[in-house]
Amino acid sequence: MKKPNARDRILETAGELFFQRGYSGVGINEIIDKAGTAKASFYQHFPSKESLCEAWLQEMHDRSIDYHAQLLDSGMPPRDMAAAYFTRLADFLQAGDFRGCPYSNTGAVSDENCCGIVRLIRLHKESTRDFFRRIATRAISDEARAAAIGDRLFVLYSGASSEAQNLKCLWPVEVARDAAVELLG
Amino acid sequence: MKKPNARDRILETAGELFFQRGYSGVGINEIIDKAGTAKASFYQHFPSKESLCEAWLQEMHDRSIDYHAQLLDSGMPPRDMAAAYFTRLADFLQAGDFRGCPYSNTGAVSDENCCGIVRLIRLHKESTRDFFRRIATRAISDEARAAAIGDRLFVLYSGASSEAQNLKCLWPVEVARDAAVELLG
DNA sequence: AGATAAACAGACAGACTTGTCTGTAAAGAT
DNA sequence: ATCTTTACAGACAAGTCTGTCTGTTTATCT
């Protein structure tokens, strides 16, 4: 019987619900019901729904940073790294019912005054761009060309997530993976 | 003094607001206020908010079909067609305060039971994919290869819109355009 | 002029939302 | 044993939302 503290239960439950139905599609009442906590407990740990969202994005971002570092340290050739990344993306999307990128989805419903959320989205996106640039740098000697190819991989990755969500299918990810392999091969 | 009928005013106002702040971020009361109509008039023309959204998506889709046909009939070489398309996308995003793709943004907040909306999003995305495949077919003789490159252009296009929105900048579109030119050149 | 259609104004219902508040129960620490 | 922290339960405020309703005004057509 897992019984972590209330904060962790809230964060985990909110993460699942936010991912599945979007930040604006889930209310606090549902979160605390499913997490089995009282509303007062919620507001003891999070000053607002927005700050809960920030904690969720931050947690995913931390995990993403770990994964990027792990992949870059794996010793694989860059082409295989990119292929592994896209294969994992395909698994992730399929497992999550093609809900796409949580950051982009959250960004689509948060206006400019949610500056904490917007900041985290931008942070994560820039860090993912940087990850792809690092991969490209290992495959391409010309520095400027490597940066351009890295950005290209990043754009392909984003489009693959987005269209897999819209079309509820996997081919955009496969297309992006093939393109990435060609660009790095 | 333009004074179209109430339905047109509602549709135009809703279009601007949906685009700017997202489908779920705009209420009917605001729409009818800004359109200068009564609520009863709204429900005389649209049975629900969802059907208003469908009318909006349909209208944009029709315009998009026209633009695609016009571009394909322009007599430009395929590489220039794609370049023109991405340049226009950049203008569109900049003019609209980097709000990204209305279809993807709407898809991010509509669940599966909004089946009319989901259908239109899928329709539009498939039609855009088809547009890129047609461009690729004119530049690449091998049929299978052309289809694959067309899909790649489509994924680049989607990623460019999405990341231009997230990062509030234009470089993803420029990256996608350069990649498209390379793929077709 | 009289009939018909369309748009007007706006109250209202019912169900949601976030966030605050009061009070209670169960732990662990000194 | 008492004190403090943490969590529980849930009512409540104040506002939002969509959609329905009654009734009035304006315009067009015959």
| Per-residue pLDDT, A111 | 81
Is residue A94 over pLDDT 60?
Answer: yes
Higher pLDDT, A6 or A14: A14
- Measure CB to CB from residue B157 to each of A103, A159, A176 and give the nearest one: A159
| Per-residue pLDDT, B3 | 58
Domain ranges of chain B: 1-46, 49-184
Nearest nucleotide from residue A26 CA, by C1' atom: C17
Q: What is the dihedral of CA B155, B159, B160, B163, to 10 degrees?
A: 180
| Per-residue pLDDT, B14 | 94
Residue B87 to residues A39, A55, B4, Cα–Cα distance (Å): 50, 37, 32
| Per-residue pLDDT, B111 | 81
Q: What stretch of H or E contains A156?
A: helix A143-167
| Per-residue pLDDT, B113 | 80
Is residue A2 over pLDDT 50?
Answer: no
Phi, psi of A48 (to 5 degrees): -160, 165
Which residues does B57 contact at the CB level (< 8 Å), separation at least 6?
B102, B103, B106, B117, B120, B121, B124
Residues in B closer than 8 angstroms to A125, CB to CB, are 163, 166-167
Domain covering B49-184: architecture: Orthogonal Bundle (1.10)
Query: For residue B169, which of B88, B93, B89 has the smallest C-alpha distance?
Result: B93
Across the interface, whether the CB atoms of B155 and A154 are under 8 A apart is answered no
| Per-residue pLDDT, B1 | 32
**Residue in B with minimal Cα distance to A169:** B122
Whether CB of A127 is under 7 Å from strand C: the answer is no
Give the integer Cα–Cα distance in Å for A37 and A65: 30
Mean pLDDT computed over A27-56: 94
- Measure CB to CB from residue A22 to each of B21, B108, B122 and give the nearest one: B108
| Per-residue pLDDT, A128 | 98
| Per-residue pLDDT, B145 | 97
Gyration radius (Cα) of chain B, Å: 18
Is residue A66 over pLDDT 60?
Answer: yes
| Per-residue pLDDT, B2 | 42
What is chain A's mean pLDDT, rounded?
95
Mean pLDDT computed over A163-168: 97
Q: Yes or no: say if A156 and B156 are a contact pair by the CB < 8 Å rule.
A: yes
Is residue A60 over pLDDT 80?
Answer: yes
Mean pLDDT computed over A84-99: 97
Residue A185 to residues A70, A78, A79, A151, B144, Cα–Cα distance (Å): 22, 9, 6, 16, 20
Query: For residue A185, which of A103, A31, A82 has the smallest C-alpha distance?
Result: A82
Residue A3 pLDDT level (bands cut at 50, 70, 90): low
**DSSP code of residue A109:** T
Domain covering A54-184: architecture: Orthogonal Bundle (1.10)
Give the tens place of pLDDT for each residue, A11-21: 999 999 999 99
Mean pLDDT computed over A30-45: 93
CATH of B1-46, one of 3.40.50.2300, 1.10.10.60, 3.30.9.10, 3.40.50.11740: 1.10.10.60
Mutate to test the interface with B, among A18, A175, A182 (most CBs of B within 10 A): A175
Residue A29 pLDDT level (bands cut at 50, 70, 90): very high
Whether B126 and chain A come into contact, CB under 8 Å, resolves to: yes
Q: Cα angle at A132 between B85 and B175, to 5 degrees?
A: 20
Buried/exposed B20-51: b ≥16 CB within 10 Å, e otherwise: eebbbbbebeebbebbebeeebbeebbeebbe
List bases, strand D, within 7 Å of protein CB.
Answer: 6-11, 16-23
**Residue in A with minimal Cα distance to B169:** A122
Whether B145 and chain A come into contact, CB under 8 Å, resolves to: no
Please state, for a pLDDT cut of 90, what percent of chain A lies above it.
92
Give the integer Cα–Cα distance in Å for A29 and B78: 53
d(CA B44, C1' D29) / Å: 22
- Measure CB to CB from residue B163 to each of A24, A125, A172 and give the nearest one: A125
- Measure CB to CB from residue A108 to each of B108, B158, B159 and give the nearest one: B108
Across the interface, whether the CB atoms of B158 and A151 are under 8 A apart is answered no
User: What residue has its CA nearest to the C1' of C20?
Assistant: A40
Residue B167 Cα, gap to closest chain A Cα (Å) = 6
Give the integer Cα–Cα distance in Å for A13 and A19: 10
Whether CB of B36 is under 7 Å from strand C: the answer is yes
Residues lower than pLDDT 50 in chain B: 1-2
Residue A32 pLDDT level (bands cut at 50, 70, 90): very high
Give the tens place of pLDDT for each residue, A95-138: 999 999 999 999 999 888 888 999 999 999 999 999 999 999 99
